[in-house]
Structure 1
Amino acid sequence: MTVAARIAELGITLPEPAKPVASYVSFVQSGNLVHISGQLSNDASGGIKGTVGVDVTPEQAAAAARLCAINLIAQIKAAVDGDLERVVRIVKLGGFVQAGPGFSAIPAVINGCSDLMVEVFGDAGKHARSAVGVYQLPLGFAVEVDAIVEVR
């Protein structure tokens, strides 16, 4: 099954890739690695904002991480000129969670992103990862994830 077919089977419609909101680019390719800038838990409805463990539940935060994965895939698609079959491997994800005092289930939140990468890319979606709790994220979003992707 193709990557596009898996995305369709999951009922996912990829959004237009988000434009940078500051002084950076959405992705940079160096050799066969594409570095995707951090993608926020944003969607057409405004996304998921807030502090996890305060006004965002762990379940909502995992859904926010899944939104980040969808946004990452949209950026990856742009980086490979629309051909997601060029993805060799999701090499690494860097996950950031706007976490409230005492909230420590950061890895479980970022699983929302990691799990979707495996659902979409199969074994090529298995990756190394970091998951970090932070005080604040840009524009008040609950989760941000960046990626390194090997392409052909």
Structure 2
Amino acid sequence: MNAAILARLAAAGLALPRPTVPAANYVPFTRAGALLFVAGQTPIRNGEPLYRGVVGEDVTVEEAQAAARACALNILAQVGIAVGDEPHRVRCLRLTGFVRCRDDFTHQARVMDGASDLMVLALGEDGRHARTSVGTNALPRGVPVEVEGLFELV
């Protein structure tokens, strides 16, 4: 992983976690030329969810934003494995976020700001991206947020 990215995270008191392993029959990322597709990441540390619940019911928007940040850190950890020691500039093209929420909850975009803000913090201008935020009724292991990412390795 690019040393500048790690330094930006460290300056904010953050570090990349150990990458999670897939929970089913898929790979954590695929690469096609300069494009890197990172599978949906949840707010998991050491095999356990950091957050569980439904946003707007038993999870606040602020907690959901923190969960989205944790997802984004997990995404960057996967990017780090994919890139290894290669001297690539990493550019985030798109994030897609799924927010487990009540039917009447309409602040999915605010929740996803947690992931988006983390990408800009870590990658600088290369962290600015397109984004989709979707509400859903269920996510794996009862987590409130899942985020997937698309990156360009320049």
Mapped partners of 1:87, 1:134: distance in 2: 33
Aligned 8 A contact 1:68 1:113 in 2: yes
Q: 1:47 aligns with which of 50, 55, 60?
A: 50
The yes-or-no answer on 1:111 pairing with 2:110 is no
3-state DSSP of counterpart to 1:132: strand
3-state DSSP of counterpart to 1:25: coil
Aligned 8 A contact 1:53 1:101 in 2: no
Task: Write the letter of the residue equivalent to 2:127.
Answer: G
Structure 2 stretches lacking a partner, 5+ long: none
Task: Write the letter of the residue equivalent to 1:62.
Answer: Q
Task: Write the letter of the residue equivalent to 1:119.
Answer: L
Aligned 8 A contact 2:20 2:44 in 1: no
Q: How many residues align?
A: 151
Aligned residue in 2 for 1:129: 131
State the 1:102 CA deviation: 1.0
Identity %: 42
Report the TM-score when normalising by structure 1: 0.94
1:96-118, Cα deviation, whole Å (9 max, x unpaired): 00011311100000000000100
3-state DSSP of counterpart to 1:50: coil
Report the TM-score when normalising by structure 2: 0.93
Structure 1 stretches lacking a partner, 5+ long: none
Shift in alpha-carbon separation, 1:69–1:82, aligned structure 2, 3 A: farther
Aligned residue in 2 for 1:60: 63
The yes-or-no answer on 1:35 pairing with 2:14 is no
Aligned residue in 1 for 2:8: 6
Shift in alpha-carbon separation, 1:104–1:34, aligned structure 2, 3 A: same
Over 6 Å off, 4+ runs: none
Mapped partners of 2:19, 2:30: distance in 1: 14
